[in-house]
């Protein structure tokens, strides 16, 4: 592998570290929000007993989609922000040195 390929692959990896966000983390959070929105639309349509898109309560479905997308984005974004590249968090862990 040459130097350009190694640089590209290292920039595409999820190595943002704790309290850091890179573009891959942001893309992952946006994809999670879109998936949650699509699932929410399907849930909103089928929970009314039919799959009739012309008589659906789109105001209710819109609110459901918006809430689900925001929750999915913030959850994923928070997970990426609070974990390191291995997916572990170090919050609440204190190292105490004894003499």
Find the length of the chain. 99
Give the Å distances, CA to CA, from 60 to 17, 49, 56: 39, 15, 9
pLDDT of 94 > 90? The answer is: no
pLDDT of 9 > 50? The answer is: no
pLDDT of 4 > 50? The answer is: yes
Helix/strand/coil percentages in the chain, nearest 5: 60, 0, 40
For residues 12 and 69, which has the higher predicted lDDT (pLDDT)?
69
Are residues 19 and 89 in contact, defined by beta-carbon separation less than 8 angstroms? no
What's the confidence (pLDDT) of residue 20?
Answer: 84
Rounded-to-integer distance, Cα 5 and Cα 12, Å: 11
Q: What is the mean pLDDT of residues 12-17?
A: 60
Q: What is the pLDDT of residues 30-89, one digit of tens each?
A: 999 999 999 999 999 999 888 888 989 999 999 999 999 999 999 999 999 888 877 777
Rounded-to-integer distance, Cα 54 and Cα 64, Å: 18
Are residues 13 and 24 in contact, defined by beta-carbon separation less than 8 angstroms? yes
């Amino acid at each position: 592998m040459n130097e350009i390929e190694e640089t590209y692959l290292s920039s595409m990896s999820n190595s943002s570290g704790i309290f850091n966000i890179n573009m891959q983390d942001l893309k992952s959070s946006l994809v999670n929000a879109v998936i949650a929105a699509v699932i929410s639309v399907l849930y909103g349509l089928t929970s009314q007993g039919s799959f009739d898109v012309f008589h659906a309560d789109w105001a209710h479905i819109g609110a459901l989609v918006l809430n689900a997308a925001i929750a999915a984005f913030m959850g994923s974004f928070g997970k990426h922000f609070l974990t390191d590249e291995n997916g572990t968090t170090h919050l609440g862990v204190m190292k105490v040195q004894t003499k």
